[in-house]
Amino acid sequence: MAHGRFITLEGGEGAGKSTQIRLLAEALRSDGIAVTTTREPGGAPGAERIRTLLVDGATDRWDGVSEALLHFAARREHLVRTVWPALEHGDWVISDRFADSTMAYQGYGLGLGRALVEALYARTVGDFRPDLTLILDLPVEQGLARAAARGATPDGGGTRYERMGVDFHRRLREGFLDIARREPDRCVVIDATLPIQAVAGAILAAVRERLPVTMR
């Protein structure tokens, strides 16, 4: 059976990943491709429990290293229980976040640096990489405004990450863009300031260029 493809969508808060994953999955299914959509942290029962620990509570709930370890524990469960079985079945898997988020949020945003995150990746994930990573990019202020419209507020609304300071989110954005510069064969930066359908068109064009679809 043909091995599937692994596509990840990345970006800061308010980038619109969830909407774009839904639209991309619909487009691929219309091409006759079996698609599994998932998310990180989460995507498997144990990983979803860890997600609650990571996204709820005070912004300073975790030491940065502890936080990175939790993300990789959730990621390992996600891969073993969901991603790898779906790929072996021949599905295309689209994930709302993967390891680039840990690099951007903890490596760049929290200042842990690349070396630690790379070492954790090597130990828990190995040589496995996404076939394509789409980084939805927009100015920090615009993304945070979108997050605020969803309910993220300084007095406790939204997730821990949505409530972190503007400087953190600026480091985060630069982290994602640096990842894209380092790995241009895997990463495509998408302008997330465009209207929803224009973003969806750019994403689908990138997928069809980088991962040509063979009809089933």
Query: What's the CATH code of the domain at 132?
Result: 3.40.50.300
Residue 162 in any domain: the answer is: yes
pLDDT digits (tens, 9 = 90+) for 193-208: 999 999 999 999 999 9
- For residue 91, being part of any structural domain is answered with yes
Q: Is residue 1 part of a domain?
A: no
Judged by DSSP in three states, 92 sits in strand
Domain of 17 in residue numbering reads as 6-210
Q: Is 215 among the domain residues?
A: no
pLDDT (tens digit per residue) in 18-74: 999 999 999 999 999 999 999 999 999 999 999 999 999 999 999 999 999 999 999
| Assigned domain for 119 exists | yes
Establish if 103 belongs to a structural domain: yes
Number of domains in the chain: 1
Q: What is the pTM of this model?
A: 0.92
When comparing pLDDT for 215 and 87, which is higher?
87
Radius of gyration over every alpha carbon of the chain, rounded to an integer in angstroms: 17
pLDDT tens-place string over residues 160-188: 988 898 999 999 999 999 999 999 999 99
Residue 19 lies in a domain: yes
| Token pair belonging to 153 | 């507020």
Domain annotation covers residue 164: yes
Residue-wise pLDDT tens digits, 101-121: 999 999 999 999 999 999 999
pLDDT at res. 151 = 63
Contact 133, 100 (CB under 8 A): yes
How many angstroms separate the CA atoms of 69 and 112, rounded?
Answer: 12
